[in-house]
Each structure stands twice: as C-alpha cells, then as structure tokens.
A and B are shown apart, each in its own frame.
Chain A
C-alpha cells in the first residue's frame, strides 16, 4: 500500500517576504515585489523590472548568522534561509534531521559569483575557491551541511520546472518507501547571465508583466527559494505533527517541440497535467484553483491556455498566475508556487492575477482578478521550462 505524502514543513523567501508569514501577508494585501533592480549593476537596469529580494548578500548572511567573511553565492544564501525555515517549521529532532533526504533544484547555481570573477586569467587562490561554488550541486551540499542532513541528497536542473521536479521526486521516493521524510524545493538568484540571456531572447518586459493579457510583452525575472518538508502521512500522524496539506498528484512530460518555445497545442503541458490528475486519482472537475505558470510571454501563455482548455474544456476552474507578485523565479518557481498553493488552501483564498486588462485573442480565457475567498480542496500548479520540460503538481487539503 503506497504512502500518502503529507506536507509538514514550509519555508520561503522572495521579493514579497523573507518567510512564509510575510509572504502570505503580501499575497493577502495584493502587495507585489516588482521594481527596478538594485543589487546588480547591469546596463539593462532601467529597461527591465524584476522581483528582487530586498537584501544584500551581506544582509542575507547576517540573517543566517553566518560569519561576516562568508562569500557564498546568493543562490545558496536564499536556499539556506528558506530551507532553514522549512526544517524549523517541521519540528524535527536532530536525529530525524540527519536522516532526511534533500532534493534541491537550481538553474543559476553559483553563476552570480562566476560572472563577477570573469575573466579568469591570473587567478588568485581566493578566486579559485569562489569558483568551486559554480556547479549546481555545491549549494545543495552547503544546505545539507548547514542543516545537518546526512541522507540521500541531490540536485535537479531542468530550467523553470526544476523545483517542481524536486518536489515530485521527493513524493515518489516516499511513496515507494525509499525515504521516510525529505526536504524538497529549489533556489535561484538574479544574475547578469540570466538577465542578459532572457534579454537576448527578447522576452523581458520593461513594465509589470501581464500574464494571459492580450497585450502581454514578456516576463519579469525574479529570485527566491522555497522548500517543503514531505513525509508519509503515517509518520506525520504518529509524531502528531500538524499537516499543512498533501502532495496528491504530480506529472512530468516533455513537449519535444523546440528547445525554448512551447508547442501551439501545449502538448507537454497537457500531458503533465493529465498525469498529475491520474496520480491524484482526480477528475478535472475536482480542481478548485490553478496556479498557472503564466510567465506573460507571448508563447507560454498561449501554449498554456491551449493545454488548459484541452484538459478542462468548458469547465476551466478559477486560475491565476502569481508571477506579477514575485517575478519568474526560474528554478525556484515550482516550489515557490507550491508554497503559495499551501497558503491558498490554508486560507481558502484564490490569489489575483495582477496587471490583467484584456483576455488574449488566442483563447479568451479570463484569470481571477481579485483576492477571492472560496472553499479549496485541490490546487493544480504548473511549471514549464526550456527544453520542453513540463511539470504539474496537485496540492490537496485532505487525503
């Protein structure tokens, strides 16, 4: 009999809050974190809007009570803050913590440091040491060490679906009895590399992003980190830990259409959502709210709309993209939005899709515009990335 997967810990940092409570307060107040970039000196600073965590790396290190000489990658610092909050909220003993698995995700890794050290000629020993932080797995190792995790540890990197895949792997390993408990999620910091990368693709907006709007013209990049602690419902109940929700469904499919663009009929997205419903043993009509990927690019929103209509036909549930709040936090997005889904379930709140004016010609679908109270049982959350990687999660209030 496979285990149900309970969510027993939660942690998050983004441009709308340093922790879960601050984040929920911002969502409830429709208070977004989008603005002009402060901490990176880029030529594009006046031409883009971003969701930036309003702290320097030094301040983030202080929040973590790390030595003042710490020069960790910003990706790692954000990850440490969110992971630490999740662990504390799960109220685990140090023995239980040591036995945790850790499945993290990132796309930037230590690139925020690497790009500052570039070019590499005539390197000092200090630079070499900093460059050891470049690979994606390094931040995960630092999180494991800082928290005291000794069990199965890994890192996933599938662009914008990364942390959704991390959550999915954690749930699968618990169901298969391979892990009792695991912390899952991801982290990404803003970097010149990604700012320029997305800019070269011409999909950044110089205004506040408008998901699903007919005049949408691109995304706002964001940064942040979010983690969930997952465990079997049995162990959670046994230790009388309060359960925040259940990871009921998940699905991963590949669009196999193009390296960066999504197919017009949203095949990868359609298959991912379909699989998530099958795993959850739910019908489309059981979904009360969808946290869409909704990056506000021409391509994603059209493709995602097509996929949503294929799954839900004439009965599309209320939906919104929360990227106008936080920006697109890349690899962290799946976990950030899973945390938002837990917040939605706890408060029976559907968050607004900010900045929306006119339905898109392609589909005519209309997202939820106001903060709305509604009884919520099952929430579907989508994350679609470059490379055709499509992942969907279903978070539920009850077993």
Chain B
C-alpha cells in the first residue's frame, strides 16, 4: 500500500484543540466522571437552521469536517469515511424517551432519522453535495482505525482525496446510569477529521505509512507480531521515535505492559487519554496528536509518560486495544 498523506486536520475535544493555539501547551484536567468537549461557537460556522436539529456529535463532526476541508482548500473530496463507536446516542436516547413516555404514540421522526449511525457522514455529503464513496464504521474502539483502513484502500484504488474522521458524543442516560462507575478515567467526547491525499505536495505534513488491525493476538505471540509488523515496513523498535499508547493510570493491561516494558522500554512513550478522556474514538485524538507532533516537531510535556525527546521526530507507532482485544497498530511518519 502506498502512503496516505495528511494535508489538514481539525479537532474538537476536552482540550483546546480547535482553537489556533500552541499545540497542547495549555492543558486542563478532566472532570471526575464526565467531561464535555470544549464546544466552539457553532453558530459562527454553521447556519442556525441547520444547527437546530443537530445533536452535539453532528455539530462537532460537521464543523471539524468543514475546517479540515477549508484548511486543505478542498471543496469536494472523492470519499467520506467516518467512524463512531456509539453513534448518535443523543437522538437515540431522545427517541427512546419519547417512545416510552408517549407509549408509542404521537412520535415525530426527527430523532429517529438523526439517530442512525451514518448521520454525520450523510450530513457532510449533503452539505457538500458530494456523491462520492461514503461509509460509516461502528466497531467500538476500532471504529476510527477501520475508517483509516478503508481510507488507505480507497486511495490505493485511485481516489485523490479522502475526508476521514471519527465522532463520539456523550449523550446523557447511558453515560450517567450505566457501566461508568468505578472507572479510573473520565468519559468524554470529540470529533476529529483529516483530509488524506494520495500524493505528497507542499502542504502534506505527515503520512500514514501502515495500519494493521487484529481481533485477537495471544499474549505469547504479541511481541513477535509487533516486531513482524514493523519489519514488514522496514522498521524496527530502534527506529520508532515514540510510541503513542491509549493507556492511563488504573488501566493495567498486559498488552500495554508488553509495549512499555518489553518492546519499547527505551523509547519515548506518550499517553493521551488523560487529556481527551475515554470514548470509543479517542484514538482519533491520539492520531491527531501524532500528526501534530510531526507537523510541529514538538512534543508537548503533557503527552510524555516516559523518556526524553531527542532529535528530529520522524516515526511514530500508535497502539490501541480494548480489554485485550481489537488491537490496532498505526505507523505515522514525517514526509
């Protein structure tokens, strides 16, 4: 597979990532349980008429998509590929609530229509009048990675540009009432969009060199697998300038420990979830941070878990997993 060049991006998260400020210099601690993203003034960018029906995920997704396209000076990408773990949970909850309270009567369709997982991808296509390939991945913590795999494939097949992104919103009822007690990290939300190009040009600042996803890897086989993945792309442990891991204190995991203690003990190790919080597509924040590191050649202190920065930053490895399954490995490089 040829590399995919990143030519622009946009992020809305619990940190100041949307604004034009120095990359993660001024970071804020997350709330104890639930941290909303820092919302821009959406009405400054999207018409109030359009905003009226949009849940927060749609607003964040449509805006970051818009910004990424503007920064890339692109009006119509060849494809729109998105990922979301929980989909449009706000509207799902609204419709469930109305269904329950009204005992299946007098229901209006708006929330049902807006609850389908592909809503954000569809809204973006609609606003751009983009007839290109359009798909939404909904595979938990690998939703964004799945979108990247398809992006790589789509560019490989001949597309010139792909708009790729991921969105997750908090909602209210699931998050407040369900399995989010006794957790070590705040739940949050966010949207991240990237314009990816088949060709390198003066505006590309990073490249997706490789991505691999596996449902299951045995712990015994994990080191062999990782090294083989790197070797396949002419890389080795020594050539990785930093590993980016979605782990956090209280999230002990044997696979992450293999990464930090066995595979990359002497490499620079970065964490990001303490900044963006926990949500299915949080790895898009990690990916975004990686592209910003390559673009600025600067690693904010807030990201550093272990090790020191030394010299130019050329090659990053991003590793993600969930409960020891749904592994993904991404190589990001400067270009």
A 154-174 contacts with B by CB, 8 A:
154-159, 165, 169, 172-173
Of the candidates B108, B142, B280, the one whose C-beta lies within 8 Å of that of A154 is B142
Residues of B within 8 A of A197 (CB): 95, 107, 109, 112-113, 115
B149/A115 in contact, CB under 8 A: no
Which one of A43, A102, A120 contacts B178 once the chains associate, using CB atoms below 8 Å?
A120
Spot the interface stretch: A222-230, A346-354, A385-393: A385-393
Please give, as numbers and ranges, the residues of chain B lying within 8 Å of A115 by CB-CB distance: 96, 99
Contacts of A252 in B (CB 8 A): 133-135
Partner of B134, one of A120, A137, A388: A388
Complexed CA–CA distance, A259 and B120 (Å): 10
- Kindly report which residue of chain A lies nearest to residue B180, judged by CB atoms: A128
Assembly CA distance A267 to B109 (angstroms): 25
> Which residue on chain A has the smallest CB distance to residue B101?
A119
Residues of A within 8 A of B100 (CB): 118-119
Q: How far is the CA of A43 from the CA of B97 in the complex (A)?
A: 16
Q: Are B122 and A387 in contact (CB under 8 A)?
A: yes
A256 touches B140 (CB 8 A): no
* Chain B residues touching A, range: 35 or more
Bound complex: CA A233 to CA B230 (Å):
30
Contact of B174 with A by CB under 8 A = yes
The reply to whether A157 and B138 form a contact with Cβ atoms under 8 Å apart is yes
Interface secondary structure of B, over-half rule: mixed
Per-residue interface assignment for chain A, residues 130 to 160, with 1 indicating a CB less than 8 Å from any chain B CB and 0 otherwise: 0110111110110010000111111111110
- Residue A63 at the chain B interface, CB threshold 8 Å: no
Contacts A137-B139, A155-B139 given; indicate if A254 touches B132 (C-beta within 8 A): yes
Mark contacts of A213-235 with chain B using CB atoms, 8 A cut-off: 1 yes-contact digit, 0 otherwise. Answer: 00000000000000000000000
Instruction: Please state if A43 and B104 are interface contacts (CB–CB under 8 Å).
Output: yes
Pair A259/B137 contact, Cβ less than 8 Å:
no
Given contacts A123-B178, A256-B130, A387-B118, whether A201 and B137 have CB atoms under 8 Å apart is no
Whether, in the assembled complex, B117 has its beta carbon less than 8 Å from a beta carbon of chain A, the answer is yes
A331 to B122 Cα, complex, angstroms: 16
State in angstroms the CA–CA spacing of A151 and B214 once bound together. 5
How far is B115's CA from A200's CA once the two chains are assembled, in angstroms? 14
CA distance A131 to B86 in the complex (A): 12
Contact, CB under 8 Å: B174 / A150:
no
Q: How far is the CA of A144 from the CA of B270 in the complex (A)?
A: 31
Give B150 Cβ to nearest chain A Cβ, in Å: 7
Q: Is the CB of B215 within 8 A of A150?
A: yes
Residue from A198, A254, A385 within 8 A of B80 (CB atoms) = A254
Interface centre among A173, A197, A252 (most CB of B within 10 A): A197
Query: Taking the complex as formed, is A78 at the interface, i.e. its CB lies under 8 A from any CB of chain B?
Result: no
Question: Do the beta carbons of A156 and B136 come within 8 Å of each other?
Answer: yes
Number of interface residues of A (CB under 8 A): 69
CB distance from A123 to the nearest CB of B (A): 6
Please tell me if A192 contacts chain B, counting CB pairs below 8 Å: yes
Find out whether the CB atom of B213 lies under 8 angstroms from the CB atom of A121: no
Judged by a CB distance under 8 angstroms, whether A42 is at the interface is yes
A129, A141, A158: the one contacting B135 at CB < 8 Å is A158
* B96/A387 in contact, CB under 8 A: no
Residues of A within 8 A of B131 (CB): 253-256, 267-268, 271
Taking the complex as formed, is B179 at the interface, i.e. its CB lies under 8 A from any CB of chain A?
A: yes
Whether A66 sits at the interface, judged by CB under 8 Å, is: no
Tell me which of A140, A193, A252, A388 has the highest count of chain B C-beta atoms within 10 A of its own C-beta. A388
Q: Is A114 an interface residue (CB 8 A)?
A: yes
A196: interface (CB < 8 Å): yes
B174 adjacent to A153 (CB under 8 Å): no
With A196-B104, A253-B133 as contacts: A140 and B139 at CB distance below 8 Å: yes
Which single member of B119, B128, B137, B215 contacts A156 (CB below 8 Å)? B137
Are A157 and B215 touching (Cβ within 8 A)? no
A120 with B173: in contact, given A114-B96, A152-B215 (CB under 8 Å)? yes
The answer for the CA separation of A106 and B138 in the assembled complex, in Å, is: 9
Which residues of the other chain, A, contact B116 by a CB distance below 8 angstroms?
107, 157, 159, 386-387
Instruction: Report chain B residues within 8 Å CB of A119.
Output: 97, 100, 173
Whether a CB of chain B sits under 8 angstroms from the CB of A44 is yes
Taking CB atoms, residues of chain A closer than 8 Å to B213 are 152-154
Give the Cβ gap from A37 to chain B, nearest Cβ, in Å: 13
B119 contact set on A, CB distance < 8 A: 259, 387
Q: Does B87 contact A (CB under 8 A)?
A: yes
In the complex, are the beta carbons of A389 and B156 less than 8 A apart? no
How far in angstroms is the closest Cβ of chain A from B329?
Answer: 12
Residues of B within 8 A of A136 (CB): 87, 117, 138-139
Bound-state Cα–Cα, A193 to B93, Å: 11
- Chain A stretch 297-315: residues in CB contact (< 8 A) with chain B: none
In the complex, how many angstroms separate the beta carbon of B66 from the nearest chain A beta carbon?
15
Other A-B contacts than A115-B96, A141-B140, 12 sampled, CB-CB below 8 A, are A134-B174, A137-B142, A141-B325, A144-B215, A169-B153, A176-B156, A193-B92, A254-B132, A259-B113, A387-B119, A388-B125, A389-B134
Q: Can you list 26 A-B contacts with CB-CB less than 8 angstroms, sorted by A residue number?
A: A106-B138, A109-B138, A114-B96, A131-B179, A134-B86, A134-B174, A136-B138, A137-B85, A150-B215, A151-B215, A152-B215, A155-B139, A157-B138, A158-B118, A158-B134, A159-B116, A178-B153, A197-B107, A198-B112, A259-B114, A260-B113, A268-B131, A387-B118, A387-B122, A388-B126, A388-B134
In the A-B complex, the 8 residue pairs with the smallest Cβ-Cβ separation, listed nearest first, are A387-B122, A197-B112, A157-B117, A136-B138, A137-B140, A120-B177, A150-B216, A137-B139
